[in-house]
Amino acid sequence: MKFNKYIVSMMILALAVTSCQDSLTVLPENNQSTSQFWKTKEEVEAVLCGGYWKIRDAQENIMLWGEARGNGINFGTSTNTLSSAAQKLRQYDILATNDLAKWDKIYEVINSANAVIKFGPTVNDPSLNVSVMNSFISEAYFQRALAYFYLVRTWKDVPFVTEPYVNDAAPYTIAKNNGEDILRSCLIDLNNGLEASKTKFPESNLDNPINTKGRATKWAIYSLIADINLWLGNYDACIPACEAVVNSGRVGLIGGANWFTNFYPGNSNESIFELQYSYTLNQTNSFLSWFSATSPYYTISPYQQALYEAEPLDIRGLNSSYTASDSKIWKYIGIKTFTGSTDTRATTQNDQNWIIYRLADIYLMEAEAYAMKGDSASMINSLALVNKIRVRAGLQASTGSSDKLDMMKIILQERQREFFCEGKNWFDLVRIGNRSEEGFKDFFIDQEIQVASASTNGMIRAILEDKNSWYMPIHSDELKTNNLLVQNPYYANLGN
Amino acid sequence: MLSGIWQTTNQGTSSFSGSTTGSSSSGITDLIDGSNSKSITPGSGHVEYKSVGGLFNSQYSYDEKYILSAGIRAEASSSLPVKSRWGLFPTVGVAWVFGDEQFLKSAKFLSLGKIRVNWGQSSNSPSGSAPYVGSLGSIAKGYGENAAIEFKSIQADNLTFETVSQANIGIDVGMFDNRLNLSLDLYDKLTTNMLQKDVALPATTGFATVKYYNSGTMDNKGWEFSTDFQLLRTKDWKFNINFNISQNKNEILDIPENKQALNYTFGNKTYAYKLSEGEPLGSFYGYKYLGVYQNKTETYAIDANGKTIYDINGSPVIMKNNDAKVYAGDAKYADINHDGIINRYDIVYIGNSNPLFTGGFGFNVTYKNIGLVATFHGRAGQKVINAVRMNNEYMYGSDNQSTAVLRRWRHEGDDTEIPRALYGRGYNDLGSDRFLEDASFLRLKTLTLKYDLPKKISDKLHIKKLQIYITGYDLLTFTKYQGQDPEISLKFEQGLYPMYIDGAATPKPRRFAMGLNLNL
């Protein structure tokens, strides 16, 4: 053993092992770190309002999902990205790369609402009492339910995300859930939120109640409950929700010549929930370029115009909803019923609100629910409700019909005239087309081809026979990043 | 022997900027809202990065024959979340100098004999100060009268480092007083938890991307052999030769989740990028090229039994390249699934861009004061896509084409592999093995001739050494490759698919250098 060759040397350095974990956590200074958030009431409310902001950010999608495949609007020669995507929808040339097949903006709403629902109650702030917290959560439930309602009506089955993605604890990929199950789950949330929800919000300007009309009140929640129940065919649940709004004492129908005040200045007595824009608060939109420019993106369709012309007394028709010479959609570009070009909104009046619910909608939903119930007492109720809307619009009361489908046609016409270009048309048609009653699907298809050219009639009829074609494909980018998703059936063999 | 080291780093950068235009006076340079100020833009930032790390090594040698070494490295940085912040990376090695063993003492020719076995781990951390931290930020203008906040980025608590584990076994042998040296190494390098940057997330998360994500496993296996031999060692003559050869094979064991298994869009000049678990990276996928359809009969689709396919009216089905019907003179691709349509389902493996071997050899001769040194380098069995030929035989637009298109197909019976010219139409230039070429080559990388001034003369000039030399680089290339230069550098298509594609980069120039080494 040659130990003399065996050298041992040692270097010892003072090892400054302190609490390295903490000193190594460096947080960015230009944003608030997730781990440091959820401390005050103001933070919860700011995320909640971020949710409304996100819905408003998706407003162009919301409008086009509801109008692109309906029969109310026509497309102009000028386009932007989404209006050309919408034209593809109208032509039934729908690929998985269509920009309107993207649902990212809606899931951002959902993530924001999920965060309020999950982290709101963990906030330890003396100024945030339980009832305020619960009212915040009722608003978040509303945001989430509204978001899923748009998703389910547009895609049918979608992933149901109810936990916020703030970190990577949950897998990023998620499969689709049955759309009706999602809506039923949303209805439970909405009903749970009702008790704590607010009947009104404090306003700095009582003439322009932007908080009460811009955030989800009890009446907005009831409206959504009614709308979802009507979609699902739960007529007996839809009717009392409508009644709750009608009898709230907070809203009333605006009659006669004042109908236009729903759109200018907006936030009217009839309004329940609308996405707020405000020029003075620097929150403006592009409606003037969509609807008013020399060559607008969207104009009134001849079919829609004919609907108005069939009832010339309608105060909602010519010079209110549209102007005849240029087919423009006047409700978004005027300051009052059209009498001359001076009635056009100025460039600084580019803050038209986007109405999601107003009382007329509630009356017509209730009328539809009664009509679908179909017994003679219900038919009488239905007709009375429809006539309330007709009479306030300056029309003769309708004599109605004892036949479900005929009554439905009367109600749909009323909805088309009332909510022209308010993002409801296509969803109304799909809701009717989905009913199992005889003739409803054919009626839906007949409505759809009103705006199709003669040469494509046959093709569109054939496409719409397959109910799966009523829903959008999942965008190909989404399929690439989420391997649990399966393309919607109608588009499965399109490749990507 | 034991050694240790401990390091900490702390980097910080701060910035502040501000600009204003339209100030009321050139004298007012502050960032104030002057009478005519058009805009004031302030900005600031502060980024900090911290890391600590330590290394501890020990080596034990017994009888100078048995050597044992072990070490461990500990690392932590602010770029990783708390749970995975600290990483420990061990290394161990043993070596046995068997040449000194008693039982080999009789083997006088053996001057060195050593076997080495090493295993060790190292890591790669994500870059940036704190890329894992999720954040919220305010939305400008808010909603209505309320402030609004949104999620800006998702917190990546599961982020961890990419780990590289390498095992190595080697043998070194020196013989005849180290006149012949041999060295052989086998290695296996496994990369796990591969770091993927800016990974797209499903929109259902509410986020578009996550800064970093761990996914994928890659393995690199290979061997390296080198030898040098002193053929002659006399007073006037010295003659050494050397030789080396190596082979590397990489393989994807787990496909990173953000990379698609097959990435292909039908179109001219496009190859499919495919990752398959258990297959080497850098494989080419495309169509099998069968030449040119000579006549209409050849364009009839053939079923799996070699029979012509007929349609419902009894007329033969004509082949289609995707949606375009083919005609005589068009490119003929193998219809692998016999459906009469050339599309993504007919894509097959057509070759690999990894060389079978990479290696070189050289010699070094000296006679008295004159020396000649040469090194050769080569690759064997490597396939590349000749994109230059693909562009220059395209005949699709108005671009200049190579003279090869002069022998394109014109009439039935033309014996050519180049399809007819079709302006702006057709699929005669699909990614196929037509443009896949063997780029094996052997190249004389350097050749040096040198002359040392005789010692007698340099001593008189009071200088230690004066050497004059001339070197030629890349003088000779032996290859069958048709492109300009077979030594193509690797390109990562879409960040992951390594491909050797010849895009007509400037070929290696033939260079000469003359020089003078003067030691005073």
Kindly report, residue by residue over A342-381, the tens digit of the pLDDT. Answer: 899 999 999 999 999 999 999 999 999 999 999 999 999 9
Of A7, A33, A168, the CB nearest to B154: A168
Is the CB of residue A452 less than 8 Å away from at least one CB of chain B?
no
Residues B6 and B112 in one domain: yes
Q: Is the pLDDT of residue A396 over 90?
A: yes
Distances (CA, A) of A458 to A87, A302, B44, B252, B429: 19, 20, 62, 51, 38
- Helix, strand and coil content of chain B, in percent to the nearest 5, comes to 10, 55, 40
Closest CA to B419 of B444, B451, B390: B390
ipTM field: 0.87
The confidence score (pLDDT) of residue B2 equals 82
Highest mean pLDDT among A28-42, A423-437, B231-245: A423-437
State whether A480 and B144 contact (CB < 8 Å): no
The confidence score (pLDDT) of residue A4 equals 38
Decide: A140 and A120 in contact? Cβ < 8 Å: yes
* DSSP state letter for A334: B
Decide which of B230, B254, B278 is a domain's last residue: B254
Best A42, A165, A283, A483 member to test B by mutation, with max B CBs in 10 Å, is A165
Residues B337 and B203 in one domain: no
Residues B312 and B422 in one domain: yes
Please give the Cα distance from A492 to A486 (Å, whole number): 8
Residues B318 and B368 in one domain: yes
- pLDDT tens, per residue, chain B with 520 residues: 788 888 888 888 888 887 777 666 666 666 666 555 566 677 777 778 888 888 899 989 888 888 899 999 988 888 888 888 888 899 999 998 887 777 777 777 888 888 999 999 988 888 877 888 888 888 988 999 999 999 998 888 888 888 999 999 999 988 888 888 999 999 999 988 888 878 888 999 999 888 888 888 888 889 999 999 988 888 888 899 999 999 888 877 877 766 666 667 788 888 887 777 777 777 888 888 888 888 888 888 888 887 888 877 878 888 888 878 888 888 888 888 888 888 878 888 888 888 888 899 999 999 888 999 999 999 888 888 888 888 888 888 888 888 888 888 888 888 888 888 888 888 888 888 888 888 888 999 999 999 988 888 878 888 888 889 999 998 888 888 888 888 887 777 665 677 788 877 788 888 899 988 888 7
**Cα–Cα–Cα angle for B476, B479, B482, rounded to 5 degrees:** 115
Where does B20-160 have alpha helices with state H? none
Closest CA to A267 of A286, A251, A280, A283: A251
Closest CA to A269 of A281, A252, A283, A284: A252
Distances (CA, A) of B109 to A137, B99, B104: 87, 10, 10
Residues B78-133: pLDDT tens digits? Answer: 888 888 888 889 999 999 888 777 777 777 788 888 899 999 998 888 887 788 88
Q: Is the pLDDT of residue A255 over 90?
A: no
- Region A31-42: mean pLDDT is 86
CA quadruple A333, A336, A338, A343: dihedral, nearest 10: -70
| Locus of tokens 């917190």 | B155
Burial of A386 (0-12, 13-18, 19+ CB in 10 A): buried
Q: Is the pLDDT of residue A272 over 90?
A: yes
Question: Chain A: nearest CA to B393, how far in angstroms?
Answer: 30
* DSSP state letter for B155: B
The confidence score (pLDDT) of residue A8 equals 32
- Strand segments, DSSP code E, in B193-300 are 195-200, 209-214, 217-233, 237-254, 262-263, 273-274, 283-286, 289-292
Closest CA to A74 of A393, A306, A347: A306
Please give the Cα distance from B150 to B137 (Å, whole number): 6
The confidence score (pLDDT) of residue B204 equals 93
| Residues 268-287 in A contacting B (C-alpha not used; CB under 8 Å) | 276, 278, 281-283
Decide which of B200, B225, B254 is a domain's last residue: B254
**Residue B472, token pair as written in the block:** 């030629």
Residues B228 and B305 in one domain: no
Q: How far apart are the first and last CA of chain A?
A: 73
Q: How crowded is residue B344: how many other Cβ atoms within 10 Å of its Cβ? A: 14
Of A53, A166, A480, the CB nearest to B143: A53
Closest CA to A150 of A120, A105, A119: A105
Decide: B429 and B393 in contact? Cβ < 8 Å: yes
The confidence score (pLDDT) of residue A472 equals 95
Chain B residue with minimal CA distance to A215?
B144
Residues B492 and B394 in one domain: yes
Decide: B453 and B470 in contact? Cβ < 8 Å: no
Taking contacts as CB-CB distances below 8 angstroms, the residues of chain B near A49 are: 142-144, 146-149
- Region A313-337: mean pLDDT is 92
Is the CB of residue A123 less than 8 Å away from at least one CB of chain B?
no
Residues B145 and B181 in one domain: yes
Best A4, A31, A117, A150 member to test B by mutation, with max B CBs in 10 Å, is A31
Q: Is the pLDDT of residue A495 over 70?
A: no
Decide which of B199, B234, B254 is a domain's last residue: B254
Q: Is the pLDDT of residue A29 over 80?
A: no
Domain with B196, as residue range(s), is 2-254
Query: What is the enclosing helix (H) or strand (E) of A135?
Result: helix A130-155
**Residue A349, token pair as written in the block:** 């009046």
State whether A28 and B207 contact (CB < 8 Å): no
| A269 — pLDDT class (breaks 50, 70, 90) | very high
The confidence score (pLDDT) of residue A6 equals 37
Chain A residue with minimal CA distance to B343?
A495
Cis peptide bond upstream of A171, omega within 30: no
The confidence score (pLDDT) of residue A380 equals 95
Decide: B474 and B445 in contact? Cβ < 8 Å: yes
| A2 — pLDDT class (breaks 50, 70, 90) | very low
The confidence score (pLDDT) of residue B261 equals 62
Of A15, A32, A104, the CB nearest to B203: A104
Residues B319 and B224 in one domain: no
Residues B270 and B248 in one domain: no
- Cβ neighbours for B234, distance < 8 A, ≥ 6 positions apart: none
Decide: A483 and A472 in contact? Cβ < 8 Å: no
- Phi first, then psi: what are they for A475, rounded to 5°? -60, 145
Average of per-residue pLDDT values in chain A: 90
Please give the Cα distance from A489 to A467 (Å, whole number): 10
The confidence score (pLDDT) of residue B34 equals 59
Radius of gyration of chain B (CA): 32
The confidence score (pLDDT) of residue A483 equals 85
Question: Chain A: nearest CA to B137, how far in angstroms?
Answer: 5
Taking contacts as CB-CB distances below 8 angstroms, the residues of chain A near B47 are: 28
Q: Is the pLDDT of residue A32 over 60?
A: yes
Beta bridge partners of residue B380, listed in sequence order: B357
State whether B204 and A482 contact (CB < 8 Å): yes
**Cα–Cα–Cα angle for B325, B331, B337, rounded to 5 degrees:** 70
Q: How crowded is residue B209: how many other Cβ atoms within 10 Å of its Cβ? A: 16
The confidence score (pLDDT) of residue A285 equals 93
The confidence score (pLDDT) of residue B62 equals 87
- Cα A453 to chain centroid, rounded: 29
- Strand segments, DSSP code E, in B97-216 are 110-124, 135-143, 146-153, 162-175, 180-192, 195-200, 209-214
CA quadruple B494, A108, A122, B160: dihedral, nearest 10: 0
Q: Which residue has the higher pLDDT, B252 or A94?
A: A94
Of B76, B136, B257, the CB nearest to A20: B76
**Residue A157, token pair as written in the block:** 């089955």
State whether A173 and B54 contact (CB < 8 Å): no
Residues B207 and B317 in one domain: no
Residues B269 and B128 in one domain: no
- Give the total number of structural domains in chain B: 2
**Residue B245, token pair as written in the block:** 């050869």
- Phi first, then psi: what are they for A318, rounded to 5°? -55, 135
Please give the Cα distance from A351 to A459 (Å, whole number): 40
Residues B326 and B272 in one domain: yes
